[in-house]
Amino acid sequence: MRQQWNRGYHQEHCSSIGELKMIYIKSAGEVAKMRRSGRITANIFEVLKPERLAKEGEEGRKRLASWTRYGTVILAFIQATGLYFALRSGLTNSGVVPFILVTFSFTAGTAFLMWLGEQITEYGVGNGISIIIFAGIVSRVPSSVIGLVNNFKAVQGAQGIISLAAIVIVSAASILLVVFINDAERRIPVQYAKRMVGRKMYGGQSTHIPIKVAMAGVIPIIFAMSILSFPQTIAQFMGKNIQIFNTTSWWYIVLYFVLIIFFTYFYTAIQFNPIEVANNMKKNGGFIPGIRPGKPTSDFINRVLVKITLAGAVFLGLIAVLPQIVVKYTAFHLTLGGSSLLILVGVALETVKQIESQMLMRHYKGFLD
């Protein structure tokens, strides 16, 4: 059975025992997609039925978390089944036993990583699933650098130098852009009116509403990739290949970019509700200078949100499609895409912030001091 599996995975570009071990680390990325998809489903459910969840309180959140876990396991089984069919051509015995081995291994591995991520979140620092994915991506960096060097050695002359220079420039620009956009936000000023409660004066302070440029994070990229990979997966089951869904074709790149913009607006609309923000401000005596409370406030926030989201959507689209364009016009193959870069930067910055807050709470110096 092991020999059959090794031959099958060898056809999927796994040529060493070290790379075979990496399949378990790479599966953490699939857990991320499934967990994030489950989180999106949970957010949609909260938007559709907020009153029911509010009444149930902590019990409702626990039930929602349970549904997310069940959905993750189901998605893991479906993806494991797809993996089996992709490797079936390399197996001399493609009966029930290999199918059970592949699907059970990956489904159980996904469940274990999901449990491990929840333990890290509860007892550690940062989001557990994100940290596991971060470790998986970082573990691929050395092999990616080695592959890049080997490609450079294989390509002689000016083409290799130009290709390497293009990759270095695009990578450096992408890192700088991701770091800048990740914390970029538009701050809408809010003023609270003074009010008397008994003999005490409340309110009167100034604050702001932060609207992040990259509010949706990496979710739109994951959604777009999932949708575009579905037709190709079905075609592989049928033994065919659809050229239009080749990752380096212009049809794929343009459609990928458009889907990212669409899902950025879609997920931002789920995460941020201008009407709810305006109503909460009105109840607490807050207002935006120069804007009347109520509907004018929600309309103003919505206009700002649409403009900011457009900038974030274009940013996500460029980060996602730039690696495809580089691969299309150079002789190099990039194993780390824009989504990996977003996850690396986002998780690193968020973890550092949480460590800083934990140390300040305990009266220690800052993590970076």
Average pLDDT, the chain: 74
| Structure confidence at residue 324 (pLDDT) | 79
Residues 120 and 159 in one domain: no
Q: Reduce the DSSP state of residue 210 to 3 states and report it.
A: strand
Q: Which structure tokens are listed for 363?
A: 């009266």
SS3 202: strand
Please indicate, yes or no, if residue 137 is contained in any of the structural domains: no
Q: Are residues 227 and 363 in the same domain?
A: yes
Domain membership of residue 135 (yes or no) is no
Question: For residue 306, what pLDDT band results from cuts at 50, 70 and 90?
Answer: very high
pLDDT tens-place string over residues 229-238? 777 767 666 6
Confidence at 199, pLDDT banded by 50, 70, 90? low
Q: pLDDT confidence of 242, banded at 50, 70, 90? A: low
Q: Flag whether 150 is in a domain.
A: no
211/162 same-domain check? yes
Nearest-angstrom CA–CA distance, 309 and 365: 36
Residue 254 lies in a domain: yes
Which tens digit of pLDDT belongs to each residue from 43-98? 555 444 545 554 566 676 677 677 778 877 887 888 778 777 777 766 666 677 87
44 lies in the same domain as 188 = no
Q: Are residues 117 and 160 in the same domain?
A: no
Pairs from 36-42 (Cβ < 8 Å, separation ≥ 24): 36/218, 36/219, 36/222, 37/71, 37/75, 37/222, 37/223, 37/226, 38/67, 38/68, 38/69, 38/71, 38/72, 38/75, 39/68, 40/219, 40/223, 40/267, 40/270, 41/68, 41/71, 42/67, 42/68
Number of domains in the chain: 2
Give the residue numbers spanning the domain of 313. Answer: 155-369
For residue 159, pLDDT beyond 80 = no
In a domain, 146, yes or no: no
Residue 184 amino acid letter:
A
What pLDDT digit, counting tens, does each position of 337-358 carry?
777 787 788 788 888 888 887 7
Centroid of chain to Cα 294: 34
Is the per-residue pLDDT at 34 higher than 80? no
Q: How confident is the model at residue 32 (pLDDT cuts 50, 70, 90)?
A: very low
Residue 338 located in a structural domain: yes
Helix axes 250-271, 219-237, angle to 10 degrees: 130
Does residue 261 have a pLDDT over 90?
A: yes
Residues 113 and 42 in one domain: yes
In the predicted model, is pLDDT for residue 213 greater than 70?
A: yes
pLDDT over threshold 90, residue 219: no
Q: Give how far the C-alpha of residue 326 lies from the chain's centroid of Cα atoms, to the nearest Å.
A: 22
Top pLDDT among 259 and 117 is at: 259
On the 0-12 / 13-18 / 19+ scale of CB atoms within 10 A, 369 is exposed
Domain-embedded: residue 188: yes
pTM, two decimal places: 0.70
